[in-house]
């Protein structure tokens, strides 16, 4: 009596993940995806063998082809997949991507994880943390030292929650001390890292 089909076992395993999960081959093409990916990205069997950027609806991939732009060289999703093929596992690497869904382009904050499955396949897990990143951006705290803006109260609890529940950068506002430390000449800076 033959044992269970390994492909079926893998599909059951990735379907158990609530995050968008895909198996990607060494051509950076999606060869399997879970139910969460199917629902979130509106995928069907026709999306198999498509490049990962196209499946995620990356603006660069949709306009110029996945892997064909200067931005693709620094794409954290692509780099994480390639590192997994080198034997490294990447866990919850924060990145921002420009995505297009239902005709609308938006910036998405993602946590990207990859791990090698075989020498020709990698598991890719993508967590969309855009809502949490937007909330973090509303917190009136310095992105460098964590000091609250003058007059801001009760931010410590919210900041502690966000830091413990997501790998997010702090908001982009900088207090005057940190601005001066970054720019001793006193020139006005943008307040971004």
Do 189 and 173 touch, CB atoms closer than 8 A? no
| pTM, rounded to two decimals | 0.72
Task: Please report the pLDDT score of residue 62 as a whole number.
Answer: 92
List of residues 6+ apart from 10 with CB closer than 8 A: 23, 32, 117
Using the predicted structure, report yes or no on whether residue 11 has a pLDDT greater than 90.
Answer: no
For residue 15, the Cα-to-chain-centroid distance in whole angstroms is 19
Using the predicted structure, report yes or no on whether residue 187 has a pLDDT greater than 50.
Answer: no
Structure tokens given for 21: 């999960």
Tens digits of residue pLDDT in 40-93: 999 998 889 999 999 999 999 999 999 888 888 899 999 999 999 999 999 999
In 3-state terms, the chain is what percent helix, strand and coil (to 5)?
Answer: 35, 25, 40
Task: Please report the pLDDT score of residue 133 as a whole number.
Answer: 76
Task: Label residue 126 exposed, middle or buried (CB < 10 Å: 0-12, 13-18, 19+).
Answer: buried
Do 163 and 61 touch, CB atoms closer than 8 A? no
Task: Label residue 38 exposed, middle or buried (CB < 10 Å: 0-12, 13-18, 19+).
Answer: middle
Using the predicted structure, report yes or no on whether residue 189 has a pLDDT greater than 50.
Answer: no
Task: Label residue 9 exposed, middle or buried (CB < 10 Å: 0-12, 13-18, 19+).
Answer: exposed
- Per-residue confidence at 110, pLDDT binned at 50, 70, 90? very high
Task: Please report the pLDDT score of residue 180 as a whole number.
Answer: 75
Closest CA to 36 of 52, 55, 17: 17
Phi and psi torsions of 148, nearest 5°: -70, 155
Task: Please report the pLDDT score of residue 190 as a whole number.
Answer: 39
Task: Please report the pLDDT score of residue 99 as a whole number.
Answer: 94
Task: Please report the pLDDT score of residue 90 as a whole number.
Answer: 95
Asked which of 29-43, 121-135, 139-153, 169-183 is least confident by mean pLDDT, the reply is 169-183
Tens digits of residue pLDDT in 140-164: 777 667 777 776 666 666 666 666 6
Q: Which CATH class is domain 6-128?
A: alpha beta
C-alpha span between 187 and 190 (Å, rounded):
10
Locate the domains of the chain by residue range.
6-128, 132-182
Task: Please report the pLDDT score of residue 38 as a whole number.
Answer: 92
């Amino acid at each position: 009596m033959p044992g269970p089909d390994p492909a079926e076992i893998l599909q059951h395993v990735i379907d158990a993940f609530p995050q968008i999960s895909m198996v990607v081959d060494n051509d950076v093409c999606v060869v399997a995806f879970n139910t969460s990916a199917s629902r979130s990205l509106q995928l069907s069997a026709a999306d198999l063998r498509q490049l990962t950027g196209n499946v995620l609806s990356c603006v660069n991939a949709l306009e110029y082809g996945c892997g064909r732009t200067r931005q693709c060289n620094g794409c954290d999703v692509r780099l994480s997949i390639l590192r997994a093929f080198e034997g490294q596992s990447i866990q919850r690497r924060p990145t921002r991507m420009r995505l297009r869904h239902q005709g609308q382009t938006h910036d998405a904050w993602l946590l990207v994880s990859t791990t090698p499955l075989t020498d020709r396949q990698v598991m890719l897990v993508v967590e969309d943390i855009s809502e949490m990143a937007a909330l973090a951006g509303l917190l009136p705290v310095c992105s460098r030292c964590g000091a609250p803006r003058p007059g801001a109260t009760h931010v410590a609890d919210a900041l502690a929650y966000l830091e413990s529940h997501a790998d997010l950068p702090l908001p982009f506002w900088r207090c005057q001390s940190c601005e001066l430390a970054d720019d001793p000449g006193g020139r006005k800076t943008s307040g971004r890292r």
